[in-house]
Structure 1
Amino acid sequence: MESINWGIIGCGNVTEVKSGPAFKQEHSTVVAVMRRNAEKAADYAKRHQIQKWYQDASALILDDDINAIYVATPPLQHHDYAIEALKAGKPVYIEKPVTINTEACTAIIEAQKQYKQKVVVAHYRREVPYFKAIKKLLDEQAIGDVKFVNLQTLQRSGSDMIAASEENWRLNPSISGGGLFHDLAPHAIDLMLYFFGKPTYFNGVSTNQSLKSDADDIVCGQIKFENNVIFNGLWCFDVLPEQEKEFCEIIGTRGKITFHIFGNKLSITKNGETIHEEFEHPINIQRPMITKTIAYFRGEEENPCSLEEALLGLEIIERFVRKS
């Protein structure tokens, strides 16, 4: 595949800055976008200098000028659109969470094998320089052998951390798979897999304390990795404003690393001294991952995040919130 000609299904807020403009680079361009609201699809295409727009996803997928698909809809639609694209012989880049549940992800894996196409999941933090720097510190054992990880994401109801959308689908489990945990936690869970490798045990507990939506608003989960690193995570989305916090601590035998899943500041503490660093994220934060995806589709690099890796993250998430 010499040139990647993209069709974007679901040109909503996430594609405005985070991802959409990043598809326009060497060997890659956006040919068409799709949104169910025709007026908004046309407006998006005009503002981003894209020649075509569609109101129907199938019409976009079958466009002969398009040879790759980016699925950027809410999770409920990921399964159907991805399989339809694979059946049409087109590789797919899928937003996170990859699907609404593990069954849907497994079905896409089977379709990928059947139609012999490539799929990348948009766990883009793996390629952001900030998180790659943390991975490098861990690989170099800057804090010695890692013993455990402590993560907390405590946010008030209506937090600014939550992405805006016209319909509050993130709180509708039938569309998102769960609640705000299902929207935000995939970033953290995938980073733990990226940092520490294969887990041997994971479990958790969750409940809906506030009853402000149909989704659980507090989740606690633990993971044990093959290298004996223990992870403990707490997510709560109904705390007082003064109780808000978001951090991750990685504790090692010679110090600790503190960072933020949704930030850019990093500190390394060892020998009684703390060093602080601040990183500047790319304006289009998915650009590094999209660059890797383009190279993978062109046969130049390995898959930066496979369906199988995303499925493992989903299995952990479902175990954290299971009811029995």
Structure 2
Amino acid sequence: MQEIKWGIIGCGDVTEVKSGPAFNKVPNSKLVAVMRRDALKAADYAKRHQVSKWYSDASELINDPEVNAIYIATPPLQHEAYTIQALAAGKPAYVEKPMTLNADAARRMLKASHQYGVKLTVAHYRRAQPMFLKIKDLLEEKRIGDVSFIQLKMLQPSNSNVIANSTEDWRINPAISGGGLFHDLAPHQLDLMSYFFGEIKKSTGFAVKQQLDTPVDDLVCGQILFENGIIFNGTWCFTVNAAEQTDLCEIYGSKGKISFPMFGNKVTLTLDGQAHEYVYEPLQHVEQPMIEEVVNYFLNNGENPCSGEEALITMELLDAFTKK
């Protein structure tokens, strides 16, 4: 292959800005087909985004001879089946996060990738964004010395503005999402923790449903002990008053601290009480840097930016934190 010709399965809200347009903006990449079960919406998306073909059946898109790679952007319930179908057709798959509903399903997707010998990448796209690469550089340069622990707080009201817009409220249907808003937002954060700090020795957590009118956990607390002795503490609560809304991760080291939001554009490095700020321009298409790396990987010009094995770690953490 000299060019990746993408087909999107699930051309819904998530693909309108954050990912969809980027497939035509990176080198050696072109979006040639989209699919959505609602034919009218699929046709409308194709028209608005100047995509030549649209489908209402995923199998037809996967078997389109022009399509040579598949981006799966449906809710998590469909990730496993569509990924395995794409891999069986010999077409590499780029799958939205979370990878799937749970770790067992993720293992089956990995098994299929190995069985068919076809590439699989998961869209933990913060790995490729300049802001988070800067944090990784600061850690590798030991700007804050030896890291001791990480404290993360994601406290949001039920109508949080960091939660992706959707015409369907599937994120609070565990049969479709795997859990609640925790399963939608925490994969971003947990993937970065393993990306930054390496192998995990142990993880545990608690999850409770405090609102009676929700079918999912709305308060989750989790801990990770990394092999290097670093400890992570995380709290996700989706019932706080709007005035208490918090999105903050703090990494503490022997010489200072790195502070940053997961849904923001500023990193603060604090050394001896002095704060140094790194501010980044918001990206028009937040997945574009990741998509460029995926294209290079699919064309054998680079490494896998987030393998199925790496994404499985996040799925295992989600399961560990929410087990009953």
Q: Same fold (TM over 0.5)?
A: yes
Q: How big is each residue's C-alpha offset from its partner over 1:237-278, in whole Å with a ceiling of 9 and x where there is no partner? A: 001111111100000000001001111111111122111221
Whole-angstrom distance in 1 between the partners of 2:129 and 2:261 = 13
Whole-angstrom distance in 2 between the partners of 1:187 and 1:290 = 16
Q: Is 1:35 the counterpart of 2:36 in the alignment?
A: yes
Residue 3 of structure 1 is matched in structure 2 by 3
Whole-angstrom distance in 2 between the partners of 1:151 and 1:129 = 20
Whole-angstrom distance in 2 between the partners of 1:97 and 1:283 = 22
Residue 216 of structure 1 is matched in structure 2 by 217
Task: Classify the secondary structure of the residue corresponding to 1:53.
Answer: strand
Task: Classify the secondary structure of the residue corresponding to 1:249.
Answer: strand
Q: Which amino acid aligns with 1:3?
A: E
Moved more, 89-98 or 238-247: 238-247
Q: Is 1:164 the counterpart of 2:165 in the alignment?
A: yes
8 Å CA contact 1:130–1:281 kept in 2: the answer is: no
Q: Which amino acid aligns with 1:118?
A: K
Q: Which amino acid aligns with 2:218?
A: D
Whole-angstrom distance in 1 between the partners of 2:213 and 2:288 = 36
Q: How big is each residue's C-alpha offset from its partner over 1:48-95, in whole Å with a ceiling of 9 and x where there is no partner? A: 110000000000000001010000000000000000001111000000
Q: Which amino acid aligns with 2:85?
A: E
Q: Which amino acid aligns with 2:212?
A: L
Whole-angstrom distance in 2 between the partners of 1:223 and 1:108 = 25
Whole-angstrom distance in 1 between the partners of 2:104 and 2:147 = 33
8 Å CA contact 1:173–1:214 kept in 2: the answer is: yes
Deviation, 1:27, is 1.1
Task: Classify the secondary structure of the residue corresponding to 1:314.
Answer: helix
Residue 12 of structure 1 is matched in structure 2 by 12
Deviation, 1:212, is 2.6
8 Å CA contact 1:129–1:281 kept in 2: the answer is: no
Gaps of 5+ in 2: none
Whole-angstrom distance in 2 between the partners of 1:112 and 1:50 = 28
Residue 141 of structure 2 is matched in structure 1 by 140
Query: What are the within-5 Å matches in structure 2 for residues 34-183 of structure 1?
Result: 34-183=35-184
Whole-angstrom distance in 2 between the partners of 1:273 and 1:211 = 45
Whole-angstrom distance in 1 between the partners of 2:207 and 2:116 = 38
Task: Give the TM-score of the pair, scaled to structure 2.
Answer: 0.99
Residue 295 of structure 2 is matched in structure 1 by 294
Q: Which amino acid aligns with 1:156?
A: P
Whole-angstrom distance in 1 between the partners of 2:312 and 2:299 = 24
Q: Which amino acid aligns with 2:201?
A: T
Query: What are the within-5 Å matches in structure 2 for residues 210-249 of structure 1?
Result: 210-249=211-250
Deviation, 1:281, is 2.9
Gaps of 5+ in 1: none
Q: Which amino acid aligns with 1:297?
A: F
Deviation, 1:211, is 2.1
Change in 2 beyond 3 A, CA 1:161/1:212: farther
Task: Classify the secondary structure of the residue corresponding to 2:213.
Answer: coil
Residue 317 of structure 1 is matched in structure 2 by 318
Q: How big is each residue's C-alpha offset from its partner over 1:107-157, in whole Å with a ceiling of 9 and x where there is no partner? A: 111111111100100000000000000000000000000000000000011
8 Å CA contact 1:293–1:303 kept in 2: the answer is: yes
Moved more, 75-84 or 153-162: 153-162
Q: Which amino acid aligns with 1:137?
A: L
State the percentage of identical aligned residues: 56
Whole-angstrom distance in 2 between the partners of 1:276 and 1:292 = 27
How many residues are paired up? 323
Whole-angstrom distance in 1 between the partners of 2:244 and 2:29 = 44
Whole-angstrom distance in 2 between the partners of 1:38 and 1:7 = 15
Whole-angstrom distance in 1 between the partners of 2:321 and 2:297 = 32
Whole-angstrom distance in 2 between the partners of 1:242 and 1:272 = 27
Whole-angstrom distance in 2 between the partners of 1:285 and 1:184 = 15
Whole-angstrom distance in 1 between the partners of 2:148 and 2:175 = 37
Q: Which amino acid aligns with 1:31?
A: V
Deviation, 1:227, is 1.2
In the TM superposition, structure 1's runs of 4+ consecutive aligned residues that sit over 3 Å from their partners are none
Moved more, 101-110 or 143-152: 101-110
Deviation, 1:192, is 0.2
Task: Give the TM-score of the pair, scaled to structure 1.
Answer: 0.99
RMSD: 0.7
Whole-angstrom distance in 2 between the partners of 1:121 and 1:248 = 23
